A and B are shown apart, each in its own frame.
Chain A
Amino acid sequence: MQSNRGNRLVALLVGAAASALVAGAATAQDACTEMQVFLSISPAHRDNVMSYIAPKLKEEMGVTLVAEEIGSANMVERLSAQMPNPRVTIAQWDVPIGVSACADGMCAPIDLSKAPNAGKLFDWAYTKDGDDVVVLATNVLGVGLLYNEEALKEAGIEPPTSWTDLADPSFAGRISITAPASTWGTAQLVKWAQMGGGGVDNIDPGFEFAESLMDNMHTVHTWSSEMSNLMQLGEVWLSTTGSNMGAALRAKGLPVRWVLPEEGSPVAAGGLSFVKGAPCTEAAYRYLDLYYSDEFQLLRVKDGGLASPSPTAWDKIPDETKADMDLTSKEFDKLEALDWKAINAVRPEWIERWNREIR
């Protein structure tokens, strides 16, 4: 009897302590003073977020924004290590990576009613898991060809219009292509496979096309920064990359243009997800609303060279900005959506095969 009483007392004390801990944790959750976000590596991305969104979050909610730019795969790696108590609230990763991470249970559903600006995007900007929206597109990116206008003019070479121009002997030693370890590289590989009669189910023609480019190959790059350096050094004249790179490099004074190849261009957009179990939910919705505001989207169009997934933002883009854009909403019909769920299932095999065969 005494023992039972003792046990009950201990249980009561443990219960009270646990309740206090939970209450403390809940209070900490509510009292969000700092919110961490992962940003995709993209021209002027962090600058835009820290100059436009961060001050508003601080002023309105007293929340300090901590934004870190890292690659999408690293985001998954670091969030996995933090689970089940992640410290990062928002992950802005490539849509394909986000789709895969959400399928692994890393994402919280996004309630669009809590961020009105995020609810007015083009339909294709929403990726759902069942009925829940889990990934929002943050931009529209096509994978195509970037070339150095001046270098081609000096060498008397016509600007490229097709993926097959990569194999033109005039570009001997002057091309750089993206490896499938990057999302753009994977999208480009699928496109090449489709051009040869294959696709996600038969990627061989894609590899054959890549192999046929080796005589012209200067570098196979994984990071666009490496390609940018080589363009800047005048080593590479023609490269495969995302549509935002043209405006970004022109802003640095490089005479480059991005072109959407006549065979079409695969879409590889950036995305945004809420991390499951992360703190600062209220601030996260405010961040979302600010991110998709027309004002911020126009900043991204201007500084980041990105096409916006928000139709209302498109209407407000000044004509001179539109004239300098390599990809506009008029060309959206030439962009081809890919089945990233199917691609993600076989992508590791492609990366391994690429590492072995494309040298």
Chain B
Amino acid sequence: MDGTSGLRRVAPLLFIAPVIVLMAAFFALPVADLLSMSFQAKHPEAGAGGFSLVNYAKILGDLWYWQMLGNSLALGFCATLTSLAIGYAVAWRLTHCGGWERTLIALACLLPIFVNVIVGILGWYILMLPFGVIQQALDALGLIHGPLRWLRSFWALVGVLTYEHVPFAVLILAASLQNVPADKIAAARILGASGPRILWTVLLPLSMPGIVASSILVFSLSVSSYLVPILITGPRGQFIPISIYSYAAELLDWNMAGALAFILLVVVVVLTYLFIALSNRLTRRGEWSMV
């Protein structure tokens, strides 16, 4: 009897044990190591390896790092907004069509996920080079002469990140929109609500779990993305992940890299929590929870 109940208690733990082990070995331990490094100076004045706040003081006391953090967050916000705007419309259509159209949309969403990220980005890279396909077309039309500097711009980066992350948003939003009861939309229509009002007062609140989940995913992927910014804006892009890489690989200053990484982690976690709390309050539901 005791043995059976003990087994019942342990069994669920066995299911989640692999995740716990993986998280501990490949997330918690490295992050703890990074955190401990961030509290050490690269060239300690007195005694090696002593506790120091010098890296955090350097970052927080320098406007340049604040601007860089601002750029990274702005990139995350913009990529999230565009991904949601495009993803929501596509997800709605996906859940309200059938046959070949549904297959086509699903395929269009899945293909970018299957294609290697570098291959996908190189397409954009070649397209938007200062003397690339777009420049040549505009030049042939006599509209511009000389280089187009789109490739290295913030908005080009937003475009590529949106392209990369829209499929994730669509898949999550579609699952959420599918759960919106059709009779509630029908009821709103019968009561005379306009399309925008149905969207604002019925659809958005009821699909909020999907919106929140996809926002968190796209935002955190965009803010912490290194590969896309380094290929699109190059090392001159003023974003935190590029700076983290520069400190770690070029300046061999893992302490500063650790401090920057930890600040980014804290900011993303705090913003995510605030977003979830705000969404809970705005929808006044509290029936679903992400925290």
Contact = CB atoms under 8 A, between A and B. Distances in A.
Contact of B131 (A235, A351, A359): A235
Contacts of A218: 130, 147
B252 interface: yes
B147 A355 contact: no
Contacts of A5: none
Interface stretch (A61-69, A71-79, A191-199): A71-79
A358 B250 contact: no
A348 interface: yes
B252 A76 contact: yes
B155 interface: no
A232 to B, nearest CB: 11
Given A172-B146, A355-B246, A356-B64, A179 B235 contact: yes
B235 A181 contact: yes
Interface string B214-256: 0000000000000000000011101000010010111111000
A359 B236 contact: yes
Interface string A209-246: 00000000011111000100000011100000000000
A218 B131 CA distance: 10
B35 interface: no
Contacts of A356: 64
A201 interface: no
Interface string A298-342: 000000000000000000000000000000000000000000000
Contact of A220 (B64, B130, B147, B234): B234
Contact of B235 (A71, A76, A352, A355): A355
Interface residues of B, number: 21
Contacts of B147: 172-174, 218
Contacts of A220: 234-236
Interface residue tally of chain A, by bracket? 20 to 34
Interface in A251-286: none
Nearest to A71: B249
B251 A219 contact: no
A76 B251 CA distance: 11
A235 B130 contact: yes
A276 B252 CA distance: 20
By DSSP majority rule, is chain A's interface helix, strand, loop, or mixed?
mixed
Nearest to B231: A226
Contacts of B248: 77
B104 interface: no
Contact of A73 (B146, B236, B252): B252
A351 B236 contact: no
A179 B237 CA distance: 13
A221 B234 contact: yes
Nearest to B148: A173
Given A351-B251, A356-B64, A219 B246 contact: no
Given A74-B249, A173-B147, A358 B236 contact: yes
A78 B13 CA distance: 37
A233 B129 contact: yes
Contact of A351 (B126, B238, B246): B246
Nearest to A80: B252
Contacts of B238: 359
Contact of A181 (B131, B146, B246): B246
B146 A77 contact: no
- Specify which of A220, A221, A222 lies most central, judged by the most chain B CB atoms within 10 Å of its CB: A222
A220 B248 CA distance: 20
A219 B131 CA distance: 12
A355 B250 CA distance: 11
B113 to A, nearest CB: 26
Contact of A222 (B126, B129, B235): B235
B250 A181 contact: yes
Given A172-B147, A173-B147, A234-B131, A352 B236 contact: no
A73 B234 contact: no
A354 B91 CA distance: 44
B235 A77 contact: no
Contacts of B130: 173, 218, 235
Nearest to A347: B251
Given A172-B146, A233-B126, A235-B130, A77 B249 contact: yes
3 closest Cβ pairs, A-B complex: A173-B147, A181-B250, A348-B251
Given A173-B149, A220-B235, A358-B236, 20 more contacts: A73-B252, A77-B248, A77-B252, A173-B147, A179-B235, A181-B250, A220-B234, A220-B236, A222-B235, A226-B234, A233-B132, A235-B130, A235-B132, A351-B246, A351-B250, A351-B251, A352-B251, A355-B236, A359-B236, A359-B238
10 contacts: A74-B249, A80-B252, A181-B246, A218-B130, A234-B131, A235-B130, A351-B251, A355-B236, A355-B243, A359-B238
